[in-house]
Structures are given as C-alpha cells and as structure tokens.
Amino acid sequence: MKKYENTGSKDTRSGFGAGMTELGQKNENVVALCADLIGSLKFDDFKKNHPERFFQVGIAEANMIGIAAGLTIGGKIPFTGTFANFSTGRVYDQIRQSVAYSDKNVKICASHAGLTLGEDGATHQILEDIGLMKMLPGMTVINTCDYNQTKAATLALAEHHGPAYLRFGRPVVPNFTPADEPFVIGKAILLNEGTDVTIIATGHLVWEALVAAEALEAKGISAEVINIHTIKPLDEEAILKSVAKTGCVVTAEEHNFLGGLGESVARTLVVNHPAPQEFVAVKDSFGESGTPEQLMEKYGLNSTSIVAACEKVIARK
C-alpha cells in the first residue's frame, strides 16, 4: 500500500484562493466575480492585486451568472464565487440558459458545500449540487479532495474551454496530494492498488477512503482506492478496469446518494460490467446544524462507514 502523508490540514477553499492569486498573475483574461463573500471565497489577494478584474456584485447571484456569461463574449475567463447552494440551486435557470445552453466559458466555483458547512444548517448544506450540475449538457463537474488538488484544479480550469463547476469546502482537512501533481480533467487517480474491493471516493471522502483502506488491510482485506476528482466527464475506463479485478465497489461522497458520484458509477457498471455496489453518502435527507465532525459521523460519511460498506459488498460477491 502506498502511504499518503498528511502534510498539514488546510481548507480547500484556500486552495482555490491560492489558485486565483496565481491565475491573476499569469492570465490577464481571468476575471473574478463574487456575491458578497470575498473573505469566505478567499478572493482577497485577487481583489487587492487586480481590482480592475474583480467584480463585487453583492447578494445578487443570478445577476453574477449573467454578467459572467456576458464577459466571455469579450474573451474573458470569468470565475464566479459564492456558497455552493447559492452557486447552483439559487441560480439554476441562469446557469442552464445563459451558461450551459449557450456554451459559455464560465467557471462556477462553489465553497461551503455538503454537510461540512456545519453549524449553518440544512438550508446552506446543499447535498444536491453535483446532481444538478452533472445533468447539464456540456458541464464539467469537479469535486476536489484537498488544498493542493483544489489549487491545481483552479489553474487547470483556466486552460479548459467550456462551462465548469468546481466544488470545495470550508473546514480544514488533511492535505495529502503532491503539490506538483498534474491535474488532468476527467482522469481518475489511483491512490492505492488492491484486489478485494474498489473504493471510489470524491472530495472530503478521499482521505477517509485511504484511512479505511489501512483499516481493511489490518483485517486482511486488500482495497483499491481511486480518487474521482472529476465526476463529469467520468473516467469510466479506470472504474471498469478496477472493478473487473476486484469484483465489487464502494462509492463514497459528501452528497445525496441520489444524483451523485455513486449513481454515475452505478450507471457505468450496469451498462458495461455489472457488479455489487454499496453507497457511502447521505441517504436522501437534508442535513442539520452541528460540527462537521458530528455531522459526518451521524450521516455515516467517514472511514468507519466505508469499512463497513466494503465488508458488506465483499460478502455480496
């Protein structure tokens, strides 16, 4: 088993901020738009260094998406920023019509996603955003696992033409991917080779999957761990290659099990290589107020739940 070391916990939104700072220096066509959440989205440095390319639209998310779509016509590369529930659910019509349908080069960047938003409660803990965005034709959907990967994804999106959704979070989480690891949109990363079960994880659940793999190894179970940072386009080749070897799969995500990564994997398997699958995800419910740790424990989004799901799915082979 390849060991991944936690080089220091950081919030993934700060990885986005670092990526924007670098893009501001490297690409004069990159512009940033924010809906009254500069500090939360870590736009401070970009705004300070490039005020002529920063647009504070206030609490007017639909207007922000419309402005961003318009800016692309002049060759700009707009990155919009607000909380995930405001980035998707509140402005879905504008995204569908002005960005996706029109194939505009807008990067919709969303912080504070999932249960780990914590104490702000269910109204802000959107667990449907991946499903909303992946159903839009032509939309790229990315969900990063740590600071380094979020920064790398932000840089990669500036070079990618087309509408995209980048999802990240507020809490500090282990930073374990190499800082110099290339980010290839649509290409899964094999973190650990195994033979008994495939664990396919995204976002904050990737680190939990690695912890689970170590716990399974102590039980004599060999787990293959795949980091799916790009949910659309999905790396079906990597998934099918792994499951052909292990014969079963567990998907893990901080999202509703309806419409998320797990469903995309299930569709891939049904069409190409049917195999037993278990889902580690929120079971069709809203969240609630609590610390991120409390909520991840209550809703079963941790390494313990992944281990249990692996043992269950292996028994179904």
Residues with catalytic roles: 61
Question: Given the DSSP bridges, would you call strands 277-282 and 230-232 parallel, antiparallel or unpaired?
Answer: unpaired
Q: Token pair of 281, please?
A: 């995800």
Q: Are 277 and 266 in contact (CB under 8 A)?
A: yes
Q: Cα dist. 303→104, 122, 250 in Å?
A: 39, 23, 12
State which H helix or E strand residue 313 sits in: helix 303-315
Alpha-carbon distance 129 to 220, whole Å?
37
Q: Are 230 and 153 in contact (CB under 8 A)?
A: no
Alpha-carbon distance 171 to 150, whole Å?
13
Beta-bridge partners for 107: 79, 164
Count of residues for the chain? 317
Identify the residue whose tokens are 């401070």.
44
Strand segments (E) across 106-182: 107-111, 140-143, 164-167, 172-173
Alpha-carbon distance 277 to 265, whole Å?
9
